[in-house]
Amino acid sequence: MEATLLLVDDEPKVLDVMSLFLKGEGFRILTARTGREALQMTEEHRPDLVVLDWMLPEMSGLEVCRELRKSYSVGIIMVTARTEEADKIVGLEVGADDYITKPFSLRELAARIRSVLRRVQGRTEEPQVLRRGDLTIDEAKFRVWKGDQEVILTPTEFKILVTLAARPGTVYSRLQLLEAAMGESYWNYERTIDTHVSHLRKKIEDDPSNPKYIQTVYGVGYRFGDRL
């Protein structure tokens, strides 16, 4: 659920600073230095949102914006140094989703990016309550009950459980579970999952050595039992 951003600016230094910060905020980052490159990158990688400098060599940000709007439903944030009224009006007509004027703080940029992404992506599906056997898993409340007894899970345990319980019977590899639990930028030892599963079983299974909820598929991964 990590969003991909395309940053477009002709100054390498600006790109560097923005990339670094936004990566730290959990976004996947692409960069381009010219309008042409921006269009090409958009075609190839389909980012969720483009941060577009107004002043670009060759093709102005304005033109790039128009082009993007023609062919893609990507979010666009224009970065501009000018504040004159004329620009505002033109800007309004071009169809960017938001504007930000230099100088701006990186935090503000991140905030606006999130705000536009929310709007562009529309509402995410509502979290629900899963019932599996005598387990109740409430995604919105981040809570789990076994019968009427609440079970306290750590964030990672919770995510693994939700992932598995969402599709009983489906086998997930350790890599898939790692991704589900940590996001895609995991760099971890796959076997860490084993440890989490072990802890989970202790908390939710009647008999952890003979699990009915989280079952091992030898040589493949884990699955949530579908006969409870």
Partner DNA sequence: GAGCGCCTTCAACAGTTTTTCAAAACTGTC
Partner DNA sequence: GACAGTTTTGAAAAACTGTTGAAGGCGCTC
Binding site for a copy of itself (CB under 8 A): 11, 13-14, 17-18, 21, 80-83, 85, 87-89, 91-93, 95-99, 101-112, 114-116, 119, 138, 140-143, 154-155, 169-171, 175, 184-189, 217-220, 223, 226
Bridge-based pairing state of the strands 221-224 and 171-173: antiparallel
User: Residue 12 or residue 95: which is nearer to DNA going by CB?
Assistant: 95
User: CB of residue 194 vs DNA: minimum separation in angstroms?
Assistant: 4
User: CB of residue 43 vs DNA: minimum separation in angstroms?
Assistant: 27
| DSSP output for 6-51 | EEE-S-HHHHHHHHHHHHHTT-EEEEESSHHHHHHHHHHH--SEEE
Q: Is 10 in the site for DNA (CB under 7 A)?
A: no
Report the alpha-carbon distance of residue 184 to residue 178 in Å, rounded. 8
What distances in angstroms separate CA 41 from CA 4, 68, 155, 178, one per listed residue? 12, 11, 36, 29
User: CB of residue 199 vs a copy of itself: minimum separation in angstroms?
Assistant: 15
Contact 203, 189 (CB under 8 A): no
Binding-site member from 58, 189, 206, 228 for DNA (CB under 7 A):
189
Q: Is 216 in the site for DNA (CB under 7 A)?
A: yes
Contact 114, 98 (CB under 8 A): no
User: Residue 80 or residue 156: which is nearer to DNA going by CB?
Assistant: 156
Report the alpha-carbon distance of residue 104 to residue 115 in Å, rounded. 16
User: CB of residue 168 vs a copy of itself: minimum separation in angstroms?
Assistant: 9
Q: Is 201 in the site for DNA (CB under 7 A)?
A: yes
User: CB of residue 20 vs a copy of itself: minimum separation in angstroms?
Assistant: 10
Question: Nearest CA to 38 among 2, 13, 74, 3?
Answer: 74
Binding-site member from 101, 128, 185, 195 for DNA (CB under 7 A):
195
Question: Nearest CA to 130 among 104, 80, 167?
Answer: 167
User: CB of residue 84 vs a copy of itself: minimum separation in angstroms?
Assistant: 10
Residues lying near DNA in the complex (CB under 7 A): 87-88, 91-92, 152, 154-157, 182, 186, 188-189, 191-192, 194-199, 201-202, 208-209, 216-221
